[in-house]
Amino acid sequence: MTDKLRAPRGTFDVLPEQSELRASLEAAARELFDAAGYGRVETPAFEATELFSRGVGEATDIVQKEMYTFEDAGGRSLTLRPEGTAPVCRAYVEHGMHRLPAPVKLWYLSSFFRYERAQAGRYRQFWQIGAEALGSDDPAVDAELIVLLATLLERSGTRELRLHLSSLGNPATRAGYREELQAYLHRHEQALSEEVRSRIDLNPLRAFDSDHGPTREVMAGAPRLLDRLDPDDAAHFAELRVLLDRAGVDYEVDATLVRGLDYYTRTVFEFESAALGAQSGVGGGGRYDGLVEELGGPPTPGVGFAAGVERILLAADAQPPAAPGIDLFIAFDGGPASRDAAFAMLLQARQAGLRAEMELAGRSLKGQLKHADRLDAQHVAILAPDGTTLKDMRAATQTEIDTAAVVDSVLAAIGRQQ
């Protein structure tokens, strides 16, 4: 016996109703980004593995545990993209976009791949809407992106949102702070969870993410990076806060905000929705002033965000819209000659811009009328060897009509002329 074939664990099929919801979200994103001067980019679904190990960071969960990495037939190590920022920065360098007027503003809607424990709202293939602005360290760019994401989430009906905001300073401050935190964690090692203890040297910041009670108690008294920022970074953060206050964006300064990617500097932020369960992150991002250089480009500041399409739809409790009815259903009675005339009428109707369908499943005439009803057809043409009838389903009237006049008659009835 063969097992039934199913979509791989952590993946899903997008069926037509869901496609509609996704298309509306995409349209909302496009409108918002167009108006703000962001151009759309699409990078390959797979990249050289090194892009992510260098860009995202060797010590991150993503690189350590979650990448779909494979060798192709030419012996290259490739990885299905787990995130969008490193690929966009790679494209920025590859196409010499640093020569364009700054900031270069880009957005994407693409699928990403992470080998994570699959659960509600967490998938192994998921979609993100993301935006990146490269070439400026002005806090107004950070503010613009945060406002854009807030607007997108609001317009898509995402409920019970909270914005967490922090600053991670620069690499030197972070290195000093990291040592201070490691020393603190070592002093309290007995109370820490096994996992946090094993990662003190590799990734001490992740200790702030722990759900383990005693670890959380230790972390409540831990030194905070936000209190160690150098004056430039502190000023950058203060200016961003003023801009967000003026824009009327509510946020909570959260010194424990840790993002799972190594490239962040200065600003980090995350929107959470209480309408979601354990996976409450809807979208987040931050500044990555060293990433482009790390990938071989000129020193270039950058800031961006990514928001999960599935989480936005879940947090908005988005309901599929009712399918719109069609303008014309073409039924026929009789043999192939009627079928061929129906097909010709179908093409003519669509050419004229009508939403039109014809009988394609060999139903009886009665079955065809029932099907027209299911499709919520406003008009039904019935082609038969002895003549054509046009029914107006709303007005419940019917007329004998010249076959060639059906399309014009429907156009006139719905208030459109050819």
Binding site for ligand AMP (CB under 6 A): 83, 114, 116, 121-123, 126, 128, 259-260, 281-284, 306-308, 310-311
Single out the residue of 153, 141, 160 nearest to residue 29, CA to CA. Answer: 153
**Closest CB to ligand AMP among 126 and 288?**
126
Cβ 122 to ligand AMP, closest distance in Å? Answer: 4
**Closest CB to ligand AMP among 259 and 287?**
259
**Closest CB to ligand AMP among 205 and 411?**
205
Close Cβ partners of 46 (under 8 Å, ≥ 6 residues apart): 78, 79, 80, 81
**Closest CB to ligand AMP among 135 and 308?**
308
Cβ 166 to ligand AMP, closest distance in Å? Answer: 14
Phi, psi of 341, deg, nearest 5: -65, -40
Cβ 307 to ligand AMP, closest distance in Å? Answer: 6
Q: Residue written as tokens 């303008």? A: 327
Single out the residue of 331, 353, 356, 352 nearest to residue 341, CA to CA. Answer: 331
Q: In angstroms, rounded to a whole number, what is the distance separating the alpha carbons of residues 31 and 286? A: 22
**Closest CB to ligand AMP among 307 and 331?**
307
Q: In angstroms, rounded to a whole number, what is the distance separating the alpha carbons of residues 177 and 171? A: 10
Length of the chain: 418
Q: In angstroms, rounded to a whole number, what is the distance separating the alpha carbons of residues 296 and 136? A: 18
Q: Is the peptide bond before 82 cis (omega within 30 degrees of 0)?
A: no
Q: Residue written as tokens 């151009």? A: 39
Single out the residue of 266, 394, 385 nearest to residue 327, CA to CA. Answer: 394
**Closest CB to ligand AMP among 29 and 192?**
29
Cβ 272 to ligand AMP, closest distance in Å? Answer: 8
CB 173 within 8 A of CB 226: no
Q: In angstroms, rounded to a whole number, what is the distance separating the alpha carbons of residues 112 and 362? A: 43
Cβ 54 to ligand AMP, closest distance in Å? Answer: 17
Residues facing 106 on adjacent strands: 39, 132
**Closest CB to ligand AMP among 137 and 310?**
310
Neighbour-count burial of 141, counting CB atoms closer than 10 A to its CB (0-12 exposed, 13-18 middle, 19+ buried)? buried
Residue 223 burial (CB count, 10 A): 13
Cβ 250 to ligand AMP, closest distance in Å? Answer: 18
Close Cβ partners of 406 (under 8 Å, ≥ 6 residues apart): 328, 345, 349, 381, 388, 390
Neighbour-count burial of 215, counting CB atoms closer than 10 A to its CB (0-12 exposed, 13-18 middle, 19+ buried)? buried
Q: In angstroms, rounded to a whole number, what is the distance separating the alpha carbons of residues 20 and 320? A: 7
**Closest CB to ligand AMP among 103 and 283?**
283
CB 411 within 8 A of CB 417: yes
**Closest CB to ligand AMP among 150 and 406?**
150
H helix or E strand, kind and range, residue 271: strand 265-273
What tokens appear for 5 in the block? 């074939």
**Closest CB to ligand AMP among 283 and 302?**
283
Cβ 224 to ligand AMP, closest distance in Å? Answer: 21
Cβ 368 to ligand AMP, closest distance in Å? Answer: 43
Cβ 160 to ligand AMP, closest distance in Å? Answer: 15
**Closest CB to ligand AMP among 128 and 368?**
128
Cβ 320 to ligand AMP, closest distance in Å? Answer: 20
Cβ 316 to ligand AMP, closest distance in Å? Answer: 12
